[in-house]
């Protein structure tokens, strides 16, 4: 009878005399070592191949990967211990140009310029050139009061009402004017003549200078 040359013998049975079968038998005998290298020691493919050479097996990467798959080996994800954070190299703040240590790879501004991660300070810096330092100077200069109604400003960042503090600026020149309540800011029109005509209109209809503006709560 002619000896089969494929990995299947007569009538489809396995042929254990082929080189491939011999390699599989050798790997089966090293299953414990391969499992330790792959799971516990987390060796790379090149490192594992070097280890196998010491046992007299010279394999390709493909043969090694087939063996790992045949053994159903799954490497668990490498988790960082609790309390340990990534350390990023110091960089220059895009606003104040001072050196700082970032907390993430995408952090552009230092904590002195943008102390929160909610995007509010990023927008203020990008749109008005006002970081936390400049904002605090403006707030102190205005004694914590709205630039229009002179009532106390609300600095709660989570406040989304019309009384929240916003930065008023000239829409023509882009120049920052003051801190105001949102309710007044959205009602400003970039025309002194317009406001003078509104005042003249109100006086002509009996409005009094002593009337206070009713600000929403």
Residues 166 and 201 in one domain: yes
Which two tokens mark 64?
């090694």
State mean pLDDT over 20-35: 88
Residues 50 and 99 in one domain: no
pLDDT at residue 186 greater than cutoff 70:
yes
Question: What does the pLDDT read at residue 36?
Answer: 92
Question: What does the pLDDT read at residue 11?
Answer: 42
Residue-averaged pLDDT of the chain? 81
**What CA–CA distance (Å, rounded) separates 65 from 199?**
82
Do the Cβ atoms of 182 and 139 come closer than 8 Å?
no
111-115, 136-140, 185-189, 211-215: lowest mean pLDDT where? 211-215
Question: What does the pLDDT read at residue 215?
Answer: 56
- 25's CB contacts (< 8 A; 6+ apart) are 16
Please, which pLDDT band fits residue 214 given cuts at 50, 70 and 90? low
Residues 157 and 198 in one domain: yes
In-domain check, residue 7: no
In-domain check, residue 190: yes
Residues 146 and 217 in one domain: yes
In-domain check, residue 153: yes
The CATH number that applies at residue 205 is 3.40.1800
Question: What does the pLDDT read at residue 212?
Answer: 58
State mean pLDDT over 62-91: 82
Question: What does the pLDDT read at residue 10?
Answer: 42
Indicate whether this model's pTM tops 0.85: no
In-domain check, residue 178: yes
pLDDT at residue 16 greater than cutoff 90:
no
State mean pLDDT over 200-215: 68
Q: What is the span of the domain harbouring residue 56?
A: 17-70
Do the Cβ atoms of 48 and 68 come closer than 8 Å?
no
pLDDT, greater one: 96 or 8: 96
- 81's CB contacts (< 8 A; 6+ apart) are none
In-domain check, residue 39: yes
Residues 117 and 94 in one domain: yes
pLDDT at residue 159 greater than cutoff 80:
no
Please, which pLDDT band fits residue 116 given cuts at 50, 70 and 90? confident
């Amino acid at each position: 009878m002619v000896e089969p040359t494929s990995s299947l013998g007569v009538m489809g049975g396995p042929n254990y005399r082929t080189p491939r079968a011999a390699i599989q038998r050798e790997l089966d005998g090293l299953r414990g070592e391969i499992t330790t290298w792959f799971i516990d020691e987390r060796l790379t493919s090149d490192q594992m191949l070097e280890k196998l050479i010491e046992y007299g097996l010279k394999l390709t990467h493909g043969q090694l990967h087939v063996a790992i798959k045949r053994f159903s080996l799954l490497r668990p994800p490498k988790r960082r211990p609790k309390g340990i954070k990534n350390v990023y190299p110091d960089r220059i703040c895009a606003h104040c140009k001072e050196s700082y240590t970032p907390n993430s790879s995408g952090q552009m501004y230092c904590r002195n310029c943008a102390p929160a991660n909610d995007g509010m300070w990023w927008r203020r810096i990008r749109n008005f050139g006002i970081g936390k330092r400049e904002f605090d100077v403006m707030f102190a200069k205005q004694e914590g009061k709205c630039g229009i109604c002179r009532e106390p400003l609300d600095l709660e960042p989570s406040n989304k009402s019309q009384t929240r503090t916003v930065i008023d600026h000239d829409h023509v020149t882009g120049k920052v004017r003051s801190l105001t309540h949102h309710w007044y800011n959205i009602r400003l029109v970039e025309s002194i003549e317009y406001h003078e005509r509104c005042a003249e209109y109100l006086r002509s209809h009996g409005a009094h200078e002593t009337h206070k503006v009713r600000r929403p709560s």
